[in-house]
Amino acid sequence: MKKFITLLSGLWLALALGACDTSTTPQHGAAENTPAPAAGQTAANAGSDTQRPALEVATPKDYTAVENAALGVNENGKGLEPGTEIAALTIADIHGKPFELQQAWREQPALVIFYRGGWCPFCNMQVRELSVKYPQLQAAGVQALLISVDEPDKAAMVDAQYEIPFPVLSDPKLIAHEAFNVVLELSEENLARYREYGLDLSAWSGQEHNKIAVSSVFLIDQSGTVLFSHAPEDFRSRPSVEQLVAVIESHLTAE
């Protein structure tokens, strides 16, 4: 019995260590629950191409709502200042077809949301809420867009999971990420930990750059100018749909 308890304690310790993200990169200084290996996958075979199972969209995990006083922050030099004009950009939709971002705000303002990827449980909670409550954003007068580094077929998995009623875009070459200044490169230490627990970022993006988005949101007017930018340090903290509606109404009324 004593041996069993000792083994059980060791297992819990291993899981706890695997759940912590201790990146030295400023934008990812907070602790993170790293996804456990997918079904049939262990730390030993997580990096094996021959044994890697099909990728799955992570189960949503509750995020922390942003305090109203903290809305509109751009931390660690990320994000764009209000008044910045967005240049013409073309990335891809979930079918791999070219998508001009400008068409999203040509007829009405746009809410551009960058998420880390379909592997991120906090992002998936946000995506689910945005999808369910999208009528509130429409009533506020905006078109929403979701962008990640996931390649088109992986972005399509997220779209299919949550029946997202607005464009989901793929940007593995970081074109939009760089334009909006939300590129985050993970440390080698974190990448090793992610792979140990079955998360291979290159399998999601189809790229070897191991870069993802700073979880962020931008309100863009019809001229392509940033009205509001929120790019915080803590990826577990997200604006609620209700908060976004208040931000949208405030800025569009001010115009």
User: What DSSP string runs through 77-118?
Assistant: T-S--TTPBPPP-EEEETTS-EEEGGGGSSSS-EEEEE---T
What is the C-alpha separation between 28 and 11, in angstroms, rounded? 26
Question: Which of the pair, 8 or 159, is modelled with greater confidence?
Answer: 159
Per-residue confidence (pLDDT) for residue 255, from 0 to 100 = 62
Q: Which two tokens stand for residue 123?
A: 């992002």
Ramachandran assignment for 180, one of left (phi > 0), alpha (psi -120 to 50 degrees), beta (any other): alpha
* 18 phi/psi in degrees, rounded to 5: -70, -20
Q: How is the beta sheet containing 143-148 ordered, strand by strand?
A: 98-100, 90-93, 168-170, 143-148, 110-114, 216-220, 226-230
Q: Which two tokens stand for residue 217?
A: 């949101």
Q: How far is CA 181 from CA 23, 63, 74, 79, 195, in A?
A: 20, 23, 10, 5, 26
Owner of token pair 């262990």: 42
Q: How far is CA 79 from CA 75, 171, 203, 252, in A?
A: 8, 17, 26, 20
pLDDT mean across residues, the chain: 83
pTM for the whole structure: 0.81
pLDDT(160) > 70: yes
User: Which pLDDT tens digit goes with each residue over 162-174?
Assistant: 999 999 999 999 9
Which homologous superfamily does the CATH classification assign to the domain defined by 58-186+203-254?
A: Glutaredoxin (3.40.30.10)
User: Which pLDDT tens digit goes with each residue over 72-118?
Assistant: 999 999 999 999 999 999 999 999 999 999 999 999 999 999 999 99
User: Which pLDDT tens digit goes with each residue over 37-68?
Assistant: 333 333 333 343 444 457 899 999 999 989 99
Pairing of strands 237-238, 110-114: unpaired
Please enumerate in sequence order all residues whose Cβ is within 8 A of that of 73, keeping only pairs 6 or more positions apart, or say none: 230, 231, 232
User: Which pLDDT tens digit goes with each residue over 196-241?
Assistant: 878 899 999 999 999 999 999 999 999 999 999 999 999 999 999 9
- Cα angle 188, 193, 199 (rounded to 5 degrees) comes to 105
